[in-house]
Structure 1
């Protein structure tokens, strides 16, 4: 039996020695090109091994890996196929290239990961550095495609041959120097199965610090800022600083709650993030060192599944300067993430947490994917990945959700 007649394995999948052809088509995109190519190939009764197609600025690149013809007749040989494909391509004002070989694509390496790169803008220099870093640790880029062009440029690299943790560490250092955001997650079903997203509220879901909004009404903004600064210096823990700041609100009329609610400003992209996640079947929650008087309102307006925060005590129409119930601090946020995951029926490894401050670190580290959003350097370094653009919906791209899916979710809601 000649090499051109090497039989296929019983499964129909070509073996390593099976002759195959890589058929490549280039040119101006228009409807019917893919159908036309495969109509042309259909006359030779071939098996399709792989297909890859991409359209960039109106130009199509279509690649079809197929088994080589095994017939002996003049109209069924490889030479006849080549002539037929070139003739069809010419009639469509396209270019064709046909490369002979054997077997399928080379096997991908182990340690498969998704590397998402966010740039605002994304430059050729930063792309070169990211690609070089991947290669430098033994990784191979198997595929690249664009997730979004707005509000940032988001590209996803499918990488094999490098361990995910090593890749994440190397790219974290590189991305910080380049001024781009890079997220690395292991490939597999788990990525699409992350069905619970939990966010911090102040300076994450919203642009404000709620305690500061209340303090402005109480005329004690400067004193609250002093206590916050002391806490940041480590002179007070969160619970101590919370009680000290809330005490300054004593005597404030409860009508201020409604005023503060109207002053709260959502972070750009917050509605889009929540709407898209909900449309795709995710559950969404918030945890906050702020107050239920605000988070409950956000839960109603955004349709959140879970919400937990501290509660300002109100008696006889006045704030007492005390909080009631369970204190939501750094450890409390991680505890609530676990509680929400249990209630949602989602394994902790399939959760996403988003936050900006040191009191979010336990939650970020406990989640399957912890995202530092416009965070301080300490938080960025400790989180799994970071986003440093002022658009909360860019987190969607880290989950492999494309801009087209975001727009489809928005259209569905209209």
Structure 2
């Protein structure tokens, strides 16, 4: 009569150890049902779920393993598994799977405790835990560090919105980003990423910088803040702000463009997206003049932004239609996806303001980046603690795999 056995081996890792242990099992003709391996700081944890065709072979397998285990200073555990237990495990593979991603400058035990407690309270089981971020030296500056832990969980979520709401509250209280995604094939098969520009790709609102040069900085900045927070209609507020720029000398544009700083992680993100075969786009309520500069710097495929009308070397203050507002951004995302032969589920959208919400809502992965409170609460995913390259963690990318 066959036996199913779970074999757990722990101890100091070395090259060739897995092959040596598997060789013993192969010599005994066992069938592999499952295998899992992890190495943390040089310590190996290796598990095999095996089928041994005859019960009397179990002692032979154990006897053959023991010399190797003793010579290597390892610890060995044999646990018999009933067929009923094994069948329940097989049946669980049809359960829904989700991925919970934790991001911060440094993930603490307290943060992990609170998140995993919520997962448990919602009846979900953590099946696998991985660190996606690279190894960080102890003396590395905290403000530049990145920490990301990915939890794969199984089970039916009775109230998905309630779970998201609890994660949102935790993220606010603990200064950590928590993302919940269904683990589908689309997660690793997205191919189009679109981005807002101002306060997303760059650390400024360009229209505010233009307003400073025109001597109306405070007035325009106040309107911009309210528009991005969703308190004002974007199109109307854009026209109002642009009118205040009438007469601005075009000569200031180059200096302003040269002063714009890329957001942390932008260059890494775009280099990696290009390596992975993504098409990228800027969908901005800002100005084409500056978006084109970013396009050249980051190798972006498409740019859609507003035209800054200039006559006789002066800004006219008149808006050129169509204005890229919230609805226009969503329409452009749909058009680009269709042009590239992709479903919306295969797209990513990233932005910070209320005029980004429409495109974030229809994208397969919509990310509110360092966003205004309304936007962060409304979007399904948010990154506030890390740079733009944190988007790669939501795709399951590890730092060690990145060439950016």
Q: In structure 2, the residue corresponding to 1:121 is in which secondary structure?
A: coil
Contact 1:130 1:175 (8 Å CA) reproduced: no
Contact 2:38 2:44 (8 Å CA) reproduced: yes
Alignment of 1:165 with 2:150, yes or no, is no
**Residues 338-368 of structure 1, C-alpha deviations (whole Å, 9 max, x = no match):** 1221122211122111111111111111212
Change (3 A) 1:169 1:198: same
Shift of the alpha carbon at 1:190?
1.3
Change (3 A) 1:323 1:64: same
Match of 2:212 among 216, 226, 231: 216
Contact 2:230 2:355 (8 Å CA) reproduced: no
Range 141-150 or range 352-361, more displaced: 141-150
Alpha-carbon distance in structure 2 between the residues aligned to 1:288 and 1:84: 66
Change (3 A) 1:64 1:315: same
Q: List structure 1 segments (4+ residues) > 4 angstroms apart after TM superposition.
A: 229-236
Alignment of 1:99 with 2:95, yes or no, is no
**Runs of at least 5 residues in structure 1 that lack an aligned partner in the other structure:** 5-18
The alignment's C-alpha RMSD in Å is 2.1
Change (3 A) 1:382 1:231: closer
Counterpart for residue 147 of structure 2: 153
Contact 2:148 2:393 (8 Å CA) reproduced: yes
Counterpart for residue 66 of structure 1: 50
- Aligned pairs for 1:40-79 (under 5 A) are 40-70=24-54, 77-79=57-59
**Residues 171-222 of structure 1, C-alpha deviations (whole Å, 9 max, x = no match):** 3333333332111111121111121111111111110111122222222212
Q: In structure 2, the residue corresponding to 1:320 is in which secondary structure?
A: strand
Shift of the alpha carbon at 1:328?
0.7
Range 35-44 or range 312-321, more displaced: 312-321
Counterpart for residue 399 of structure 2: 403
**Runs of at least 5 residues in structure 2 that lack an aligned partner in the other structure:** 137-144
Alpha-carbon distance in structure 2 between the residues aligned to 1:119 and 1:317: 46
Counterpart for residue 23 of structure 2: 39
**Residues 94-138 of structure 1, C-alpha deviations (whole Å, 9 max, x = no match):** 222222223447133622111111133212122111111111111
Counterpart for residue 61 of structure 2: 81
Contact 1:310 1:327 (8 Å CA) reproduced: yes
Alpha-carbon distance in structure 2 between the residues aligned to 1:48 and 1:232: 56
Shift of the alpha carbon at 1:53?
0.5
Shift of the alpha carbon at 1:234?
7.2
Shift of the alpha carbon at 1:69?
4.8
Q: In structure 2, the residue corresponding to 1:148 is in which secondary structure?
A: coil
**Residues 131-171 of structure 1, C-alpha deviations (whole Å, 9 max, x = no match):** 11111111111111111146321111111112383543443
- Aligned pairs for 1:291-302 (under 5 A) are 291-302=287-298
Alpha-carbon distance in structure 2 between the residues aligned to 1:57 and 1:215: 54
Alignment of 1:307 with 2:287, yes or no, is no
- Aligned pairs for 1:334-373 (under 5 A) are 334-373=330-369
Change (3 A) 1:395 1:39: same
- Aligned pairs for 1:384-403 (under 5 A) are 384-403=380-399
Structure whose CA Rg is larger: 1
Change (3 A) 1:235 1:56: closer
Counterpart for residue 108 of structure 2: 123
Counterpart for residue 16 of structure 1: none
Alpha-carbon distance in structure 1 between the residues aligned to 2:291 and 2:206: 10
Counterpart for residue 127 of structure 2: 142
Alpha-carbon distance in structure 2 between the residues aligned to 1:385 and 1:239: 25
Alpha-carbon distance in structure 1 between the residues aligned to 2:182 and 2:390: 19
Give the TM-score normalised by the residue count of structure 2: 0.90
Shift of the alpha carbon at 1:237?
2.3
Change (3 A) 1:124 1:325: same
Shift of the alpha carbon at 1:236?
4.8
Q: In structure 1, the residue corresponding to 2:14 is in which secondary structure?
A: coil
